[in-house]
Structure 1
Amino acid sequence: MTLLTTDPAVLVLEDGTRHPGRAYGARGTTLGEVVFATGMTGYQETLTDPSYAGQIVLQTAPHIGNTGMNAEDPESRRIWVSGYIVRDPSRVVSNWRADESLDDALITDGIVGISGIDTRSVTRHIRSAGSMRGGIFSGDAASLSPAEQLRIVQAAPEMSGQNLSAAVSVGSAEVTAATAERIGNLAVLDLGVKQATIDNLAARGFEVHVLPQDVTIDQIRAIDPVAVFYSNGPGDPAASGDHVELLRGVLDDGLPFFGICFGNQLLGRALGLGTYKLPFGHRGINQPVLDKTTGRVEITAHNHGFAVDAPLEGAFDSPNGYGRVEVSHVGLNDNVVEGLRALDIPAFSVQYHPEAAAGPHDANYLFDRFADLVRDHLGKKDANAQA
């Protein structure tokens, strides 16, 4: 049983809005961009998603923590959110798979949280004003003056312009063997990759080489990959110029490419497109997306605050000389670009999460599409070699 504290805490937004509540998780001060996630389940996957680094996550579902935390569902090696906001923490952990309470897990990883506030009100405010910097103050920091707390929040860095890849990437290469008929080595640039993504790629026959975010094109070539994959991750794609140049090297080598989330934004920039910050982003497991290739509408899992700027209709020429490109997927709530497909080179990407951890599995076919693309490319390569 979790004993809910009466220790005071306060959420302070950069516009001066204040929400007093109760301390939850670790005590202290934490700063970050305040965003809301609309999933009613899957909080463990949300917390351990590296894409949330630098962000204070607000759960719109009012009751959080009833299934505890377990050792099987984490998407990475730790909790990555900068802070956590919930309305009603569960007093009881009531799932047979649970190893500990959510409160204990937050304390173990040093995550400062707050509970007992009107999360609906905060969500409505962010939807109107946009995502903004915020801070949670508890313990000794709760007694700071409102003016001092606001000064601390307003001095924190904004998400725009931040490159956070080094904070979440592996320090050295890690290899996961293929669990289906082997296709070949896959180079995965770890910008915050989730475990479910690695598992899905291995299940399609790839020997998955997860590489640090500062890897060079020569180091990628050294593993003799059949393709390259860019993962999800936190930060502003406009601040990741090195990753864009690396991707251009991959495309110049003619290697098949698949990118998810941050990888979609970086493919867009490699092709010569711009990116921009969304007012409050997409974060949840119920986002409708149109696959323009099939005309099928998918319910998908999202976690992104930036998007690619591209024309939604028809093919267009890549400004960087990679041939024709089209927008392959579109978000139906707001017409945001949710996927890109290069028509003259073997490269495509999606802005959302086909690994669906947590979330619906409507888009899981994209891993099959990638495997088919690589097999087709290898077949053409063999045919050309024999000719």
Structure 2
Amino acid sequence: MPFFDYVILDQSGKEKKGKMEANDVETVRSQLKAQGLIPIAVTEETLLNKEITFGGGVKPRDLSLFCKQFHSVLAAGVTVINALQMLSEQTEKKSMRKAIRDVQLAVEKGETLASGMGGQPQIFPPMLINMVEAGEASGNLDTAFERMATQFEKDAKLRSVVIRAMVYPIIVCVVAVAVVILMLTFVVPQFMSMFDDADIKLPKITLAVIAVSDFMVKFWWLMLLIIAGIVIGLHFYKASDTGRMTLSRIGLRIPLFGKLIVKSSAARFTRTLSTLLAAGISLIDAVEITAKIMDNQVIKDALIEAKEEVERGVPLSEPLEISGLFPPMLYHMVKIGEETGNMEAMLDKVADFFEDDVEQTTQVLTTVLEPLIIVVLAVVVGGIIMSVLAPMFTLYSSVDKM
């Protein structure tokens, strides 16, 4: 779903800006009015008007620390307003510090904490806002923050495991490409003049390497433009609905990595859903909130469809199974949870299983990819070296015969 920037008047008549993910402009206006806010302007966020920030993004570990600190001060008997004041002074990240101060101002004017946090959607995700709202309604706000601290901590750990699995092969590939470029632009040209002076017939592989090297030396600027164009094009394509869906489908089909994406998504889905249900949030709302935090668009759409089926009275396990995306263990355990009425416990067990499975899968990936990448690098670099050495041997042989 696209994001929309909006300008509203709050209950005190103060103008505020924010951002919301929704299907269309009317949905945004309806949700804002439902919160007692007056929408002044709502515009869809595009690549041209998207706000660009450097280093201001809030990560799961930032949110985990925020929730831990909030839980600690509330458990100590500190009021919400004083807690917000303390946290704003302790937070180092500027974007988050400003958001906490804005929430504090909103609470001081009579808004609920959930409402104030809802005005900062670029910092506080819907899951946290809904948990806070449920905590305020039940009088267990400190417990809500404690649960969310655990949730964000597990989410951060899961992300770091997945990132580690992907970073290593990327670094090795970048180093390999850099080595090949250096050889083609600096090493090979030094031998080209020698081959030109010598009256020998060069092998086809040597001619091919020389042609590539000559092109890279003469048209390096064109290659930089092509690379920049590809990077920018992918960025624009990924930002579009079609591109996001296409890249998500491709990601799921990549050997090993596709399974890792599914398993990590299953772990996040079950852990988040369990946390929300334990807080008293309805299954429909919990599935909708969980769908929004999914990174893969295909999986996100499958969960949105599952939510719509649940609204029609269909058990959650059925659309999860029909989607064909999730491992059988997930929807079987969900079905057991539905039948026994113990959904939260079942989801927690599934989340534990998939989190361990993701860690094992990343180890397998590293074990498989490390020798594979080294072999590919050896073949490429070895091929370039042999393409240079082969005519050198021919040249030396002709000199010995003279």
The two structures have a TM-score, normalised by structure 2, of 0.27
Query: Which protein has the bigger helix share?
Result: 2
Task: Give the structure with higher Rg (CA).
Answer: 2
Tell me the TM-score normalised to structure 1 length.
0.28
If each structure's strand is expressed as a fraction of its own residues, which one has the higher value?
Answer: 1
